[in-house]
Amino acid sequence: MTASHSARRLRASRTAAAGLIAGLGLAGSAVAQAPVEAIFGLDLRARYEGFESNFWGAVDPADDGYLWLRALPNADVKAGPVRAYVQLAATQARGVGLGEGPVDTTGLDRLQSFVEVVLPTGEETQLVLQAGRALTPLGSERLVGRRYGPNVPQAFDGLRATVKTARLKVDLLDLRPVAVAPGNFDDRPSRTRRLGGVYATADLGQGAGLDVYWLDYANDGARFEQGAARERRDTYGIRFFGQRENWSWNWEAMVQRGRFGDDAIAAWSVGTETGYRFADAPLKPAFRLRANYVSGDRDPDDGKLGTFNALFPKGKYFGELSPIGPYNIANISPTVSLDLGRGVGLDLSAAAYWRASTRDGLYDVPGQLIRESGASRARFVGAQVEAAVTWQVDERLTLTGSMSVFAPGGFLRQTGPSDAIGMIGAETLWSF
């Protein structure tokens, strides 16, 4: 990072902090006169996942079954334009054969704790200033998500300023991801990674919307197949999404530039999701087609890194069984959803995966290299099928179950263990 870039970020952080302090001062009298409203909530989740030949038999134990337990109590207090929100996370993991990691358990800790001030700036315009720890999902969560599928969601510490009008929302971000630790109240903001930028969403009318954004990311200890170095990466993206009559769509294009050590970064990705629902047909079938391309590195010795970085993507990225993450991958996935009545839904999906570049390896959802390219020039990674049932028992209780199989392709067979993965999942979620 250049000195001028650091200075700009410091000035922006000071400006946002000063604005928040000023906002608190201006709102003081309004808070004193306003009634205090407090809302308390609780989410309880128990999830079991059982694997046969996890990571195609490349880990020990390859056959693994574990139970995730999670309680998320929260308190939301409002007084006039000021809001204070606190959410704790109490998590446990039972029987994780590979050893517990940051997505499995954090003991008892703060998941969210922030103060927010809403300042009217016009008839239909307001400025929202937020400081503290919060979940920060952006758009479709392809780049910044809550990581809600695993046991421990991804939170961020920092500042957020949001300008809202009738048809436009603009977020300014200066954040550090929270590094999860296994003890109680020991989660801290990362010392090696940070995230900033601007994210704008426009309502285009008639059910359509448009996101335009720039995200500034830095990681002092980045690692790809090309090696390890400091990473400084800018992501420029645009997303067109919406729903009209029976059609729905969510299309996104992203370009990344920056530096990885002494090498330049030149990466890109396109993600699409297009759906159609037969609302008047029996079982109300809905068809959805997802297609993604995420660039990989073409030559580790050319002084350029072409591996796209998905930053902080949503958990369970490609489905309930997600051994593969959105790095150096191309995939296509059709899904049909059926409404079986009485709150029961069935999803049937399939997916096929290819490496975008045959000179780059395979990565998991957090971005860790799980299979080097070696001497293989095969593109086909494998295919999976999945069935998932969801029962919305009532407004508070949801039960889900899933079954998945991943059959390895040529690349996996040529580079190491290549057993078919089998996975079953069962989950109970109760919200108050």
pLDDT tens per residue across span 243-277: 999 999 999 999 999 999 999 999 999 999 999 99
Quote the pLDDT of residue 399.
98
Cα(296)–Cα(299) distance, rounded to whole angstroms?
Answer: 9
* Residue 293 token pair: 């391309």
Cα(192)–Cα(209) distance, rounded to whole angstroms?
Answer: 34
Pick from 422, 418, 404: nearest CA to 57:
418
Pick from 280, 279, 202: nearest CA to 248:
279
Cα(419)–Cα(59) distance, rounded to whole angstroms?
Answer: 11
How much is the mean pLDDT over the chain?
93
Query: Per residue in 214-239, pLDDT tens?
Result: 999 999 999 999 999 999 999 999 99
Q: What is the DSSP letter of 320?
A: S
The residue-averaged pLDDT of 278-303 equals: 96
Cα(112)–Cα(89) distance, rounded to whole angstroms?
Answer: 9
Cα(51)–Cα(405) distance, rounded to whole angstroms?
Answer: 10
Q: What is the dihedral of CA 134, 94, 313, 397, to 10 degrees?
A: -70
Residue 35, SS3 per DSSP = coil
CA distances 101 to 98, 136, 180, 242, Å, are: 9, 21, 9, 36
Quote the pLDDT of residue 34.
75
Query: Per residue in 106-138, pLDDT tens?
Result: 999 999 999 999 999 888 899 999 999 999 999
* Residue 27 token pair: 């709102």
Contact between residue 275 and residue 250 where contact means Cβ atoms under 8 Å apart: no
pLDDT at residue 381 tops 90: yes
Cα(235)–Cα(366) distance, rounded to whole angstroms?
Answer: 17
The residue-averaged pLDDT of 200-206 equals: 97
Query: Per residue in 54-106, pLDDT tens?
Result: 999 999 999 999 999 999 999 999 999 999 999 999 999 999 988 888 999 99
* Residue 20 token pair: 């928040």
The residue-averaged pLDDT of 332-356 equals: 98
Q: Which residues pair with 76 in a beta bridge?
A: 39, 85
Quote the pLDDT of residue 20.
52
Q: Which residues pair with 42 in a beta bridge?
A: 73
Quote the pLDDT of residue 22.
56
Cα(183)–Cα(351) distance, rounded to whole angstroms?
Answer: 38
Quote the pLDDT of residue 27.
55
Quote the pLDDT of residue 32.
60
Quote the pLDDT of residue 287.
98
Q: Which residues, including other chains, have CB under 8 Å from residue 324's CB and lie 6 or more apart? A: 318, 353, 362, 363, 364, 365, 381
The residue-averaged pLDDT of 291-315 equals: 95
pLDDT at residue 9 tops 60: no
The dihedral sign for the CA sequence 2, 5, 10, 13 = negative
The residue-averaged pLDDT of 293-317 equals: 95
Side-chain-facing half-sphere of 295: CA atoms under 13 Å? 19
Percent of the chain exceeding pLDDT 90 equals 87
Cα(215)–Cα(235) distance, rounded to whole angstroms?
Answer: 5
Place of tokens 């996935």: 333
Cα(413)–Cα(382) distance, rounded to whole angstroms?
Answer: 10
CATH of domain 3-431: 2.40.160.100
